[in-house]
Amino acid sequence: MDGTLAEVLAAAAHGRFPPPDGATTVIGQPNARDAGVLAFTAHSVVFTDEDPRWVRAVLAATPGDALAATMNPYFLNALLARTGRHMNTIDLLTVASALPGEPGIALREIEDPEHPRVARAMTYRDEVRVWSTDGGVVILGRGVAGRWETAIEVAQEARGRRLGERLARAARHLVPDSVVWAQQSPGNARSVRTFQAAGYRPVGSEALWVAG
C-alpha cells in the first residue's frame, strides 16, 4: 500500500480501506508531533520516522497473533522506549460526515487561549476552537496528519439528557471540512454509544505516541 498518512485517512473516511491482507505498512510521520499506529481490519499502518527495518524486526519478534501484533504491548513498548515517547490508551477511531446548517444547540465560542480547556486541546491539536453550552463543551482542532478532530465534555450534573450526543452532532455542523474524526476509549462504553448515536462510524483502532 502506498500513500501518505493523510491519504490513508482520507480514503478510510470514505470507506476505502487498506487491503485485509494481514500486512503492516510503515510510513513516515506527517510531522514531528504525530507518530503511532492505525489498525484496520487485517491491515495496520505504523507511522514513524524510525528505520522501517527495525520496526519490522520488532513486529517479527512480537509474540501472539500476527494480525494483532501492532497493538500488542510488546511492540508498543519497544517503540515507545526507542522514541522516548509515551501513550495514553488505544482508542477506537471514528469518523462522521459534515452536516449543513447551524448546530441544533445554542453554543458560545471560548476565544481565550488561556482557558484551561483551550490550552489542553492545543497540546494535541492545531487551530483549536472551543464552544460551550450549559453543562458541556465541544472542541474542534487539527490533529493527526491535519485531520479535523472533535472531543466533547459533559458535566456530571448534565448527564442523562443526551447532551453529549447533541454536542458530538454539533461538531458535524461546525467542522470546516467534509468529515470530522473522534477517538473514544473502548472501555468508555458511554462515550462510544454517544458518538455512534451522533452518526460517527467505527474505522479502526489507534495508538498515538506522545512526545514529552
Q: Output the DSSP codes for 38-81.
A: EEETTEEEEE-SS-HHHHHHHHHH--S-GGGGGGSHHHHHHHHH
Q: Which pLDDT score is estimated for 157?
A: 81
Per-residue pLDDT averaged across 33-43, rounded? 97
This prediction's pTM? 0.94
Structure confidence at residue 2 (pLDDT): 60
Q: For position 106, what pLDDT does the model report?
A: 95
Q: CA torsion angle for 149, 38, 91, 173 (degrees, to 10)? A: 20
> What is the structure's pLDDT at 111?
80
pLDDT band at residue 1 under the 50/70/90 scheme:
low
Q: Using one digit for the tens of pLDDT, what is the confidence trace for 104-134?
A: 999 999 887 676 767 776 777 899 999 999 9
The pLDDT of residue 123: 73
Higher pLDDT, 26 or 122: 26
| Domains within the chain, CATH numbers bracketed | 5-92 (no CATH), 93-202 (3.40.630.30)
